[in-house]
Structure 1
Amino acid sequence: MNLALFDLDNTLLAGDSDFEWAQFLIEKRVLDREVYEARNMEFYEQYKAGTLDIHEFLDFQLKPLSRHPRNQLDAWHSEFMKNRIAQLITPGARELIKRHMLGRDLCVIITATNSFVTGPIARALGINHLIATEPEQEDGEFTGKVLGVPCFREGKIARLESWLDEHNLTWLSFLESWFYSDSLNDIPLLNKVTHPVAVDPDATLKGYAEKKAWPVISLR
């Protein structure tokens, strides 16, 4: 059996679901544009530069979830999927996933974006396994806090290895492993797999991939 890991934002999606979710809430006037838009852009630029404080960002991102009942959030998310996400799923991404599924590889999306935002996207892509940053819940409602280790940078490795252990698997369970990502933040996990692939990469990852002679591809 082989393992195929996929980053989500700017890899399988031609955009960032985290950023788009905040912008969607701003446009619906759920979040105040003056307060949130500049901050959302600032965090996105920090992420792309590799300087993001993940806990500061998660406080910004998860707090709005705690201010609204889950049924309202789910209704907004359905609209978000139709109006924002559907057009970000490229034919190239679907073809890549299909190729690995036909090869009977274990396919997993692993993303720093929280599971509330990304769960429906994973389902839309036909991938059953998702490892994401987990928002804390009490009685089915979000508290605004993060649960456990954020799935970010080295945290992706920790979360993946915990997930493998829960499924009675280890790295040695797989003859080959792939990880597809666009981001310099994923270099730690890219170095763990047998087939690291840079997908529409940022400048830092592209340079790193070229030095390592890793494949560089586009899904757009």
Structure 2
Amino acid sequence: MNLALFDLDHTLIPTDSDHEWGRFLVGLGIVDAEEYQRENDRFYADYKAGTLDNDKFLRFALAPLAQRPREELARWHAEFMRTVIVPVITPQARTLVQSHLDAGDLCGVVTATNSFVTRPIVQAFGIPHLIATEPATVDGHPDSMFNGAVSGIPSFREGKIARTEAWLASLGHDWSSFGSTTFYSDSFNDIPLLEKVSVPVATNPDERLRYHAEERGWRIMDLF
């Protein structure tokens, strides 16, 4: 059996789901439009520049989730999927994922974006496993209201390795369990996990990852 891991934003979808979710909340009038949009754009620029303070960003991104019941959030997310995400999912990305599923690979998405935003997107691809930053709930129950904090290690940079290894261990596996291990990502922030797998694939890579991939002789794939 082989292992196939995928980043999500700008890898399987040609947008950033975290950033778009923030824009979606602005459109709903749930948050202060001017202030929230400014901060949302600033954090997104910091991420692309490699200067993101992830702790501050997560406090910002998770705060709106803690202010509404889960049922209301679910209704909003269904509309977010319908109007923002599903229209941009490409046949090329679906074909890539399906090729690994058809091969019997163990498939999962490893993303820094929180699981509330990303789980329905991953399900839309038919990918069975998600490793994402986990929002904490008020009493620890998975269906309770969010409290604005993070549960466990954020799935960001080196945290992606720690979270992936914990997930593999929960399934009775480690890196040596597989004939090959592949990770697809667009971001130089994911170089730690790309260097961990046996088959790193720079997918729609940003400028710095493209340069790094060319220097290392990694495969480069442009889906979009």
Query: TM tier, shorter chain?
Result: over 0.9
Q: 1:160 aligns with which of 160, 164, 170?
A: 164
Displacement of 1:90 after TM fit?
1.1
| Secondary structure, aligned partner of 2:196 | coil
Structure 2 CA distance for aligned equivalents of residues 26 and 130 of structure 1: 27
Residue 190 of structure 1 is matched in structure 2 by 194
| Secondary structure, aligned partner of 2:63 | helix
Residue 119 of structure 1 is matched in structure 2 by 119
Displacement of 1:138 after TM fit?
2.5
| Secondary structure, aligned partner of 1:8 | coil
Displacement of 1:218 after TM fit?
1.0
Which one-letter code corresponds to 1:204 in the other structure? Answer: R
Q: Which runs of 5+ in 1 are unaligned?
A: none
| Secondary structure, aligned partner of 1:131 | strand
| Secondary structure, aligned partner of 1:178 | strand
C-alpha RMSD of the superposition? 0.7
| Secondary structure, aligned partner of 1:10 | coil
Which one-letter code corresponds to 1:76 in the other structure? Answer: W
Residue 107 of structure 1 is matched in structure 2 by 107
Q: Deviations over 1:19-70 (max 9, x none)?
A: 0000000011011111100110110011111111110100000011000111
| Secondary structure, aligned partner of 1:201 | coil
**Aligned residue runs from structure 1 range 71-220, under 5 A:** 71-139=71-139, 140-220=144-224
TM-score (norm 2): 0.97
Residue 16 of structure 1 is matched in structure 2 by 16
Q: Which runs of 5+ in 2 are unaligned?
A: none
TM-score (norm 1): 0.99
Which one-letter code corresponds to 1:20 in the other structure? Answer: E
Residue 32 of structure 2 is matched in structure 1 by 32
Which one-letter code corresponds to 1:67 in the other structure? Answer: Q
Residue 50 of structure 1 is matched in structure 2 by 50
Structure 2 CA distance for aligned equivalents of residues 98 and 142 of structure 1: 33
| Secondary structure, aligned partner of 1:81 | helix
| Secondary structure, aligned partner of 2:112 | strand
Structure 1 CA distance for aligned equivalents of residues 87 and 221 of structure 2: 20
Give the number of equivalent residue pairs: 220
What percent of counterpart residues are identical?
Answer: 54
Which one-letter code corresponds to 2:167 in the other structure? Answer: W
Which one-letter code corresponds to 2:117 in the other structure? Answer: V
Displacement of 1:102 after TM fit?
1.3
